[in-house]
Structure 1
Amino acid sequence: MENFYSVNGIEICAETYGDPADPAVLLIHGATASMLWWDSRLCTELAARGRFVIRYDQRDTGRSTSFPVGKPGYAMSSLAGDAVGLLDVLGIERAHVVAQSMSGGIALILGVDYPSRVASLTFVSTSTGDEGLPPPSVSYADTPDLGDPAAVEEYVVRSIEAEAAGHFDEAAARDLVRRDMARARNYEASLTNHFAMTFDGPRNGGFGDLTMPVLVMHGDADPLLPLPHGEAVRDAVPGARLVVLDGMGHGLSAPYWKSFVDEVAS
């Protein structure tokens, strides 16, 4: 069941799975994505492996607090602070943090600036952002009229398809987008504000300063952040381990859930 929590002066909507006495796993999805993008069946599978799973709407997604479109007034470090604040209100001292895509930057801040709160880090389909890494090969449709819900739905569905590298289930994608749009406080802000925030980083170091176990999971068919991005994360973190998912695109599609659960719950 979804619950609202007061965190850093805003409301965060979160949902948990499993026994709170089990080791906690905090799932943080990427830009524009609410908690729904961590499929409930995946969360259930992970909880069944003895993990207390937390998925949540970051600010400007889902049912959490929304900010003026194009003027979010916060930084990536604010999103990291929200993650810590959520752990606080849930009474969780340390969590295994799993971050997808853009939220790899949030995980980095957590690992460097809040190391006592992080049992391990898993970076999924993310990047160091270093110069010289290969550019995206994916192409997207033109941004639609954000006042036209049907056009917005089609745009997001087609974006999922473009990133899927052959693992695209149109019915599932359309269902996800419709549910996401229906529960969002402001879907235009969801599509806009994470790209308009300030992209700051850790105060106390970088990838090379991470001291907890680090796992990198990356698809070798990722058209948005090609595999060298995941390899760069592995190479930047002392002792990090890379798991390459054959044929996976940018999103963690259903055929790869078992591999994901096996790694995160190991």
Structure 2
Amino acid sequence: MDICDVNGVSLGVEEFGGADAPLVLCLGAPTMLSWPDALCVQLAAQGRHVVRCDLRDAGTSSHGDLESPDYTLRDLAADAAELARAFDGRPAHLAGIGISGMVAQVAALDHPDAFSALTLIGTRPVAPGPVDDDLPDHDQATMGSLFTRPQPDWSDGDEAAEFMAEGARILGDDPAEARDVAARIWERTQDSNPESHRADQLGMVFSRLDCRPRWRERLPQLRVPTLVVHGRRDPFFPVGNAEALAREIPGARLLVLENGSRAVPAADVPEVVAAMSRL
């Protein structure tokens, strides 16, 4: 793992594969560990230079005021474009997962020269907050179970990991895998401040960002090969959000993981890697 200075900030990065291979830039959600190790390793084995990164205010990247971030969604999009250019002079394959899938959409729209392909996993075409009338919103019963739980002591790594494992169980993901990833995220958090740990685990800073202006209406302008991946059982962003993305981005391919929810199941990693490799 390393640090890359771009666009006035420092971003934590990790590389897989040869630096001369075509670049696939995987944006964290918010940390790089939202991208499964196996996916990065297998994609590199397909002849790609995979770089996964922490967003601002996450992991080993630059940190500011977690309660009042002084940057916008479009700044994160610019970070992605500058990071891609720093690693490779050629346009890169940009991949976003969850909240970073929103960043990836805006980055591809705002900086079309920087990107040659787009993968969007488990995301939707609008910012956090009220959803468009034609898009399915969060499953309320699941959200009730997820968000009414007592918060853990975020300064305790074991408590944080158990909380995230239970959240994965509620969402329909693998609790054991979520526990392991949460423990690794906790270890990478820069300081002992409980709010820093909470932000790294839950991506709370993203909900406080200025995400204007809307970008959904611009999606038909995209002219890069696009893969949209989504779990059929996702209760947080139901699959109709992915269907809208695939419908509104010209030529986009939709890959629905029938047994998937929020995370990419380990059993589906080879299929996702194969689909990404074809872009």
Tell me, in whole angstroms, the C-alpha distance in 2 between the residues paired with 1:203 and 1:233.
12
Separation in structure 1 between the aligned mates of residue 97 and residue 77 of structure 2, nearest angstrom: 13
Q: Is the alpha carbon distance of 1:146 and 1:195 closer, same or farther for their aligned partners in structure 2, counting shifts above 3 Å?
A: farther
Question: Secondary structure of 1:230's match?
Answer: helix
Alpha-carbon distance in 1 for matches of 2:113, 2:28? 22
**Secondary structure of 1:206's match?**
helix
- The root-mean-square deviation of aligned C-alpha atoms, in Å, is 2.0
| Aligned residues between the structures | 260
Structure 1 pair 145–243 and aligned structure 2 pair: CA distance change class (3 A): closer
User: CA shift at 1:210, angstroms?
Assistant: 0.4
Contact between 2:231 and 2:256, CA under 8 Å: does it hold in 1?
Answer: yes
Matched AA of 2:37: S
- Distance in 1 (alpha carbons) for counterparts of 2:24 and 2:57: 22
Residue 122 of structure 1, aligned match among 114, 119, 123: 119
Question: TM-score, with normalisation over the residues of structure 1?
Answer: 0.90
User: How much does 1:13 deviate?
Assistant: 0.9
The answer to whether the 8 Å contact 1:76/1:201 transfers is no
Q: With the length of structure 2 as denominator, give the TM-score of the two structures.
A: 0.86
For residues 86-105 of structure 1, the aligned pairs below 5 Å read 86-105=83-102
Alignment of 1:91-240 (within 5 A): 91-129=88-126, 130-137=132-139, 138-139=142-143, 140-141=146-147, 142=149, 144=151, 147-149=154-156, 150-163=158-171, 165=172, 167-168=173-174, 170-185=175-190, 186-190=196-200, 191=202, 192-201=204-213, 206-240=218-252
Give the AA of the match of 1:69. L
For 1:24, the equivalent position in structure 2 comes to 23
Q: Is the 8 Å Cα contact of residues 121 and 214 (structure 1) preserved in structure 2?
A: yes
Q: Distance in 2 between matches of 1:55 and 1:75?
A: 21
Structure 1 residues 84, 251: closer, same or farther in 2, change over 3 A? same
2:129 maps to what in 1? Answer: none
Structure 2 gap ranges (5+): 127-131, 191-195
Describe the superposition over 1:156-210 as per-residue Cα deviations: whole angstroms up to 9, x where unpaired: 22222222x3x41x33221211110111123234342111111124789611110
The question of whether the paired residues in 2 share the 8 Å contact of 1:60 and 1:67 is answered with: yes
Structure 2 Cα separation of the partners of residues 102 and 181 of structure 1 = 19
Identity of aligned residues (%): 28
| 205 and 62 in structure 1: CA distance in 2 versus 1, 3 angstrom threshold | same
Q: Which runs of 4+ in 1 moved over 4 A?
A: 145-148, 201-205
Amino acid corresponding to residue 161 of structure 1 in structure 2: R
Counterparts of 2:165 and 2:68, CA distance in 1: 25
Q: Which residue of 2 aligns with 1:48?
A: 45
